């Protein structure tokens, strides 16, 4: 008899605990509870203590915090027929818990699938150079398209970022050669610009020295000072170019005015002796 009473009391306690657990719910600040009564959507409750009608009402929790969704690496063919592997990350949160529970079976998985599909579709419409340089505009376009498609589910996609773009080895080598050629091109242009500026400065210096002879003498002295600073044993005396040209002009004048030397007249050749003629005795 006593054992039967204990069993009955134990059953009552267990039933009471089940009723309490089905009646009393605690929802956190970052959560909301979507309540169904006999399968029909009633309302959204929380946060805090929530009382339900046991075995008649049922509650499903929805997290309202921003969730991070890693979009797996996708093989994409760009508009200019280059195959790349791209992965991305998306940040989203639930703004309407009722729609997130009623309109879609699993809003996290559904958002992940639509993000993968949109990533392949959008990147397939851009060229490789735009994918590498216009990353911000592509991210904004992805975010807009994915957010429009998840809006009926009560999901707000706030940010979509393309994380990594993996190029084929052949394309990487081609881009490296292109970058090297661009650097060589810039180096040659800078060198040419430097030569042009140096020529302009030399022209200006030549004009100053032509108008101010003392400036040329000061340049000679500066050159001697620079040569002497290296402990050289050779002494160089600069000679003005004008003096050299004058000396050369004098040499030309002397060579043109001097009389040409008379060539000795050839002596007349002596006459050749007559050649004797031999005759036979019979003649």
Residue range 82-91, pLDDT digits in tens: 889 999 999 9
Name the residue among 168, 172, 102, 115 with its Cα closest to residue 141.
115
Q: What is the DSSP letter of 240?
A: -
- Lookup result for tokens 């890693």: 70
| Mean pLDDT of the residues in the chain | 80
pLDDT, position 229: 62
Q: Which helix (H) or strand (E) holds 257?
A: helix 241-257
- DSSP lists the bridge partners of residue 156 as 93
State the average pLDDT over residues 223-230.
66
Tell me the CA end-to-end span of the chain in Å, nearest whole number. Answer: 197
Is there a contact between 68 and 91 (Cβ–Cβ < 8 Å)?
Answer: yes
Looking at residues 102-127, what average pLDDT do you find?
Answer: 92
Give the β-pairing of 31-37 and 57-63: antiparallel
CB of 83 closer than 8 Å to CB of 168: yes
For residue 31, how many other CB atoms are within 10 A of its CB?
A: 15
Q: How far out from the chain centre does Cα 5 lie?
A: 80
Give the Cα separation of 84 and 138 in Å (integer).
15
The rounded distance, in Å, linking the Cα atoms of 205 and 8 is 116
**Residue 177 C-alpha from the chain's centroid:** 14
Report the pLDDT value the prediction gives residue 244, as an integer from 0 to 100: 58
d(CA 216, CA 206): 9
Which pLDDT band holds residue 230 (cuts at 50, 70, 90)?
low
The pTM of the full predicted model, rounded to 2 decimals, is: 0.61
pLDDT band at 279 (very low <50, low <70, confident <90, very high): very low
Residue found by looking up tokens 């500066």 in the block: 222
Quick one: what percent of the chain has pLDDT higher than 70?
77
Express each pLDDT in 6-21 by its tens digit.
888 888 888 888 888 8
275 pLDDT higher than 50: no
Helix, strand or coil, per DSSP, at residue 28: coil
> Is residue 77 within 8 Å of residue 124, measured between CB atoms?
yes
């Amino acid at each position: 008899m006593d054992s039967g009473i204990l069993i009955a009391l134990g059953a009552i306690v267990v039933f009471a605990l089940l009723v309490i657990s089905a009646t009393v719910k605690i929802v956190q600040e970052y959560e909301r509870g979507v309540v169904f009564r006999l399968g029909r959507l009633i309302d959204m409750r929380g946060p805090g203590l929530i009382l339900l009608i046991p075995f008649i009402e049922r509650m499903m929790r929805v997290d309202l915090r921003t969730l991070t969704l890693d979009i797996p690496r996708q093989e994409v063919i760009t508009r200019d027929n280059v195959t790349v592997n791209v992965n991305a990350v998306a940040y989203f949160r639930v703004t309407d818990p009722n729609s997130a529970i009623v309109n879609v079976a699993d809003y996290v998985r559904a958002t992940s699938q639509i993000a993968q599909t949109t990533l392949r579709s959008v990147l397939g419409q851009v060229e490789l150079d735009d994918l590498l340089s216009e990353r911000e505009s592509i991210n904004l376009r992805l975010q807009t398209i994915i957010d429009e498609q998840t809006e009926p589910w009560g999901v707000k996609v706030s940010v979509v970022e393309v994380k990594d773009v993996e190029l084929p080895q052949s394309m990487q080598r081609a881009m490296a050669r292109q970058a090297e050629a661009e650097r060589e091109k810039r180096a040659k242009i800078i060198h040419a610009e430097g030569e042009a500026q140096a020529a302009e400065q030399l022209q200006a210096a030549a004009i100053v020295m032509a108008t101010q002879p003392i400036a040329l003498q000061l340049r000679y002295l500066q050159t001697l000072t620079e040569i002497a600073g290296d402990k050289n044993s050779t002494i160089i005396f600069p000679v003005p170019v004008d003096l050299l040209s004058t000396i050369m002009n004098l040499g030309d004048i002397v060579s043109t005015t001097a009389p040409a030397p008379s060539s000795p007249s050839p002596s007349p050749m002596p006459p050749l002796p007559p050649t004797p003629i031999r005759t036979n005795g019979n003649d």
